[in-house]
Structure 1
Amino acid sequence: MSDWSGQEGARAFAAVEAATDWLLGYPFVFRALSRRLGPDGVLVDYGCGPGKVAAHAAGLLGVRVLGVDTSPEMLALARTSATAVAEYHLVEHGRVTGLPDACADAVMCNHVLASLPTEEAVLAVFAEIHRLLRPGAPLVLLTTDPACTRLEYASTRIGEPGAAYGPGDPLTVRLRRTDGTWQEVRNHAWPAGHLPPLLTRAGFRAVTQHRPTVDEALPLATPALARSHTWQAERAEPPLLVTTALRTADPF
């Protein structure tokens, strides 16, 4: 079972297929960002991993993208493979090195909360994102709903079938690799309804949540991705949630 640490974890993460995310997640993150980012904007990808999503955002949105991550190994992999990203910065002791306050016009944060075991850890990440954003700028979060345990999705299986998970509870997620095999990952559950109050506590406002559907997604998908799976489980119970919030004054 992986936690994505070290060089082996970074390589394993880069080999995840993520078909469900590329259908129901990332296109809607990019759409939310495009509504608020101009061509000269600065976008921070908080938890960029190997940089694939950050590089795609740079090409699609035409903005300056800065990738940040807690893993030096992830950043090393990203620097060699995701050259469309302008800069990479390491998160040390909860703070992004080399980036000043209010430097970002937007932040995206994809599947980072799943690695955080406590409410305090989530609030600390939100506080650092708040520091990076200029006033009024958006944070766009992509998370997996830990309530969606009944079905096997195209590229993931969430927890144990029928199990119920509370905030921070450990759960195992299975992810399909590009070679068709499956990998188990240690995650933590953050139910959808628990996120808006935490964002408000961290100094964000205008929190909205959107659960993308297959019917919404297929017109946005590449033909190859649309044909790659039947998407039956995704149609029955969409498992991804896009949460958007705006940075306000300092947290309470």
Structure 2
Amino acid sequence: MGTDWKHSATVAEGFDAYDDLPERVLGYPTALAQLRLDDPDVRTVLDYGCGPGKVALRVASGHDVDVVAVDIAERMLQIARRNRPHPRVDHHLVESGKLAFLPDGAVDAALTCYVFINIGDPDVISGIVAEVYRVLRPGGRYAVLDTNPDTTGIDFSTFRSGEPGVAYVAGQRRQVLLNQPSGGVLELSDYHWPRSTYADVLTAAGFTSVEFIAPLLGDVPGSGIAGTLLDTERPAEADNAPFLVVTGVK
């Protein structure tokens, strides 16, 4: 059985407590750069699968945009509203992947962080991407951020996705370990999707100019890693890209 993201308080609280250091240094900056949030025609951003609100707050705090932050888990939204409120972030609970409260073309940019890897059914992923496509305006950009399917089993500074030595196939379940600040480990279960899955679902929904970026430590300027777990002679993130960012344009 996969991780209960929708109902488990342990999962919600553990995921919130997780120190997303490599995500802050490499993942989020790379994904957000692809959305061109400082362009004057980008005013509203959709964060689909916002979880405890870390990315939505980063977007609203760093850019003059409104954020529509949605998730299937009320527990996650409660944490987001309590710990990371912002006047330009509007949180919504969604059911069955639908954004019924948003009309066609309502947002200027959209992102999905660590959602695909937590869904075992490719048809459900396709439905989400189609819904994101619907609510994006023409010319709007979409960024998907997930763990890199090409670097499973590697111990990164704060997490490991997949077991060492295992060659995963599409849809196969993987063990995920997130280091907790308390010294413990939050064990989760996600699904392996190769690059071809991302290309297929985005293209099928209508997205064009689909591109892949897998940033290494040093590729993102202004990382600010001094004094962190990444401040070592040669962290794993310097030689192995922990994340994959996939982008498309409507």
State TM-score, norm by structure 1.
0.90
C-alpha distance in 2 between matches for 1:143 and 1:132: 21
C-alpha distance in 2 between matches for 1:151 and 1:92: 34
C-alpha distance in 2 between matches for 1:213 and 1:38: 29
Instruction: Name the % identity.
Output: 33
Tell me if the contact between 1:147 and 1:164 (Cα under 8 Å) persists in the aligned partners: no
The structure 1 segments of at least 4 consecutive aligned residues displaced by more than 6 Å after TM superposition are: none
The structure that is helix-richer by fraction is 1
- Please state if 1:9 is matched with 2:11: yes
C-alpha distance in 1 between matches for 2:21 and 2:222: 14
Equivalent residue letter for 2:53: G
**Aligned partner (choices 11, 20, 23) of residue 21 of structure 1:** 23
Going from structure 1 to structure 2, the CA distance change for 1:164 and 1:228 (only over 3 Å counts) comes to closer
Counterpart residue number, 1:100? 103
Tell me if the contact between 1:39 and 1:61 (Cα under 8 Å) persists in the aligned partners: no
Secondary structure in structure 1 of the residue aligned to 2:107: coil
Tell me if the contact between 2:148 and 2:214 (Cα under 8 Å) persists in the aligned partners: no
State TM-score, norm by structure 2.
0.91
Tell me if the contact between 1:4 and 1:13 (Cα under 8 Å) persists in the aligned partners: no
Going from structure 1 to structure 2, the CA distance change for 1:113 and 1:40 (only over 3 Å counts) comes to closer
Equivalent residue letter for 2:114: H
Counterpart residue number, 1:250? none
Counterpart residue number, 1:179? 182
Structure 2 alignment gaps of length 5 or more: none
Tell me if the contact between 2:6 and 2:74 (Cα under 8 Å) persists in the aligned partners: no
Counterpart residue number, 2:224? 222
Aligned pairs for 1:105-124 (under 5 A) are: 105-124=108-127
Going from structure 1 to structure 2, the CA distance change for 1:76 and 1:137 (only over 3 Å counts) comes to same
How much has 1:223 moved relative to structure 2?
A: 4.6
| Higher mean displacement: 103-112 or 71-80 | 71-80
Two-structure CA RMSD over aligned residues (Å): 2.0
Counterpart residue number, 1:170? 173
Aligned pairs for 1:146-165 (under 5 A) are: 146-165=149-168
